[in-house]
Amino acid sequence: MEAKIEEGGEEEANKRKWKRKKSSEASFCPINSLDDGCLMHIFSFLSPIPDRYNTALVCNRWCYLACHPRLWLRVDRSVKDLSEPGVFPNIETAVAAARPGDTILIAAGGSHRASNIQIKKPLCLIGGGELPDETTLICSRGSDSALEFMSTCKLANLTVKAELGCCLLHRKGRLTIDGCVLQCESNPLDYLSCPIVSTASAAQQLSSSLNSHSDGVFVSQTRIEGGAKAVLTSGDLELQRVRVIYARTSLLFWFDVEHQ
């Protein structure tokens, strides 16, 4: 009996010793020997979702660096101390404070009001939940759109709802919509609403020809519900390369809207 107890105690000691060895190996991992500035620069090359988001789960230091305001801004209504750098109570103030090329992470849970917010600089807006349904932008009735894009932007992992008007209004630039839900509320005036409206014209296309990316809307793995049609174009862009996958509970769309 005593021999068994001794064996059990020895096994526990070996386990603790192995855990200490693993933790010490992790702490002396070559990448952890880099200073914060260098490590943050490396993180800046990761895609915000899911790579940089998952990086924040590794340890406290990586969480601090991966969520640093230099890498992305956050919209979080639950944060009481708004003096914290890089945290904003609503999308409009975050867009106004953002620099070209910034990523804005919109906190999951609840809904965020978004009405006629003009985005005139290249930005990436990403929902902070695991699914797009967990981060919802609601366009107030009477507004033309929730978001109005006048530059190259990306939207990912978000749900955008509009009652009348449109969810997204594309004026110019390259708009990428990836893994989102665009929903127009069902009502008798359904024919007046469209999830996506593009007004880009040939003149804008000519003015942006110096850029590597032309004007257009590029949709992938996005659920579109309600409205008269999925996309309405009043400029020179045309719907192309449409692909639809019938899932169990919804339809997922892939399509491009660009100059032919």
102 lies in some domain: yes
- The residues, ordered by sequence, that sit 6+ positions from 104 with a Cβ below 8 Å of its Cβ are 72, 73, 74, 75, 91, 94, 95, 98, 123, 124, 125, 126
The tally of domains found in the chain comes to 1
Quote the pLDDT of residue 11: 66
- Please write the tens of the pLDDT for every residue from 193-202: 788 988 887 5
183 lies in some domain: yes
177 lies in some domain: yes
Quote the pLDDT of residue 91: 93
- Residue 252's alpha-carbon distances to 3, 127, 175, 183, 229, in angstroms, are 64, 18, 18, 13, 14
91 lies in some domain: yes
pLDDT at residue 259 tops 60: yes
Chain position carrying tokens 């969520």: 67
Helix or strand holding residue 238 (H, E)? strand 238-246
d(CA 210, CA 208): 5
pLDDT at residue 137 tops 70: yes
What size, in residues, is the chain?
A: 260
Quote the pLDDT of residue 208: 43
Alpha-helical (H) ranges within 59-141 are: 60-66, 91-97
236 lies in some domain: yes
81 lies in some domain: yes
88 lies in some domain: yes
3-state secondary structure (DSSP) of residue 119: strand
- Please write the tens of the pLDDT for every residue from 149-194: 999 999 999 999 987 778 999 998 999 999 999 988 766 555 567 8
252 lies in some domain: yes
pLDDT at residue 3 tops 90: no
Read off the pLDDT band of 211 (50, 70, 90): very low
Quote the pLDDT of residue 110: 81
| Side chain identity, residue 135 | T
